[in-house]
Structure 1
């Protein structure tokens, strides 16, 4: 665990400004093309969700500012960001998972499957382990949304990025996935969100 040198950070004034706000978060929704990813998952009998989640986590881990978390008066820098995804049960409730990230898809899939099995065999809402070094994410496959709002805890220092993935849609022969992201502006700017979406699309395009 490392901590950011806030005094010599080129975003120091931005950090201080947005921390004065009652709700310093901002969010947006953009489409990513998942044609190759969807086709590959279908042909290989793999989970489409786990495939695009893995690509998402690669992108998250490639953007420095998405690894920053506010801890008191400090900004912690996490070396690795994991995934806390909602996993649905047959009765339409869900549990929060904590999926350890690995660049290796097979290892990531095993970590996902372990958490899925735990959730499907329990009624627990919360995972067995947790760290701020994660993202919170949900799949909402019933709606191809164009806007999205996350619940706000009231803690303006909450700095864990929140993501949601919507229902697939087809446009001009391409399969598009709506992706919502909500971040704390004290740590993350539109530029960094742009970096995330660019890297996410690159990772999706790599899948064959």
Structure 2
């Protein structure tokens, strides 16, 4: 299961210290971009084993994010630092009235353990209504948002927040599957704060996520 240890950062010694100051104090900046993932191999492997795609997508995204400190930076008790792991906060869809509620599942680097926790949460909280399906008091401080618009093959998705508070975790959005011959693809959008994340980090995330999706037998069996 996940380790929620929080490690403080020193801006003077941190290699991104000046960049963090610049993009938080001088020019408050974030960015988002959309790429295309080839999900052919992963989708086929999941279907053969009767696993749902979305929790596998959430697990894969969280696994790669957790390998990079830049995606796990936050402020805790007015102190800048980073968590050992992120907890995915994701939507559950209510078919009857077309609304969503948010659910979170503690991360495990063992896919089947995370998948089991996901199913347990869906069973217990999936029919709860409201913004948060689980008790607000239990919401972990290390939650980041990962979601999906399975009805839309978008070319770009940009999330805008109008809250006036520091937030440095990435936000991830998947899209509709598109079949092209024997290949199946999906768009993925990532929104980040430039104070903690550059294009290089996003490039690494996308490449490593694609590699993980291309080798599902290493984590499914």
Shared fold by TM > 0.5? yes
Question: Which residue of 61, 65, 78 maps to 1:56?
Answer: 61
Deviation of 1:121 (Å): 2.6
CA contact (8 A) 1:37 1:52 kept: no
The equivalent of 2:142 in structure 1 is: 133
Within 5 Å, which residues of 2 pair with 1:154-173? 154-155=163-164, 157-171=166-180, 173=182
Q: Distance in 2 between matches of 1:44 and 1:155?
A: 45
| TM-score under structure 1 length normalisation | 0.92
Alignment partner of 1:119 is 2:97: no
Q: Distance in 2 between matches of 1:107 and 1:164?
A: 23
The equivalent of 1:191 in structure 2 is: 200
List alignment gaps of at least 5 residues for structure 1. Answer: none
SS at match of 1:41: helix
The equivalent of 1:104 in structure 2 is: 110
- Single out whichever of 35-44 and 165-174 deviates more from structure 2: 165-174
List alignment gaps of at least 5 residues for structure 2. Answer: 1-5
SS at match of 1:181: strand
Q: Distance in 2 between matches of 1:194 and 1:74?
A: 28
Within 5 Å, which residues of 2 pair with 1:40-79? 40-71=45-76, 74-79=79-84
The equivalent of 2:44 in structure 1 is: 39
Q: Distance in 2 between matches of 1:21 and 1:175?
A: 43
Q: How many residues align?
A: 208
The equivalent of 2:188 in structure 1 is: 179
The 1:156–1:18 alpha-carbon spacing in structure 2 relative to 1, beyond 3 Å, is farther
SS at match of 1:57: helix
Q: Distance in 1 between matches of 2:13 and 2:26?
A: 22
Deviation of 1:124 (Å): 3.1
The equivalent of 2:99 in structure 1 is: 93
Q: Distance in 1 between matches of 2:175 and 2:199?
A: 21
- Single out whichever of 150-159 and 35-44 deviates more from structure 2: 150-159
Q: Distance in 1 between matches of 2:183 and 2:52?
A: 19
CA contact (8 A) 1:82 1:100 kept: yes
- Single out whichever of 172-181 and 68-77 deviates more from structure 2: 68-77
Alignment partner of 1:143 is 2:146: no
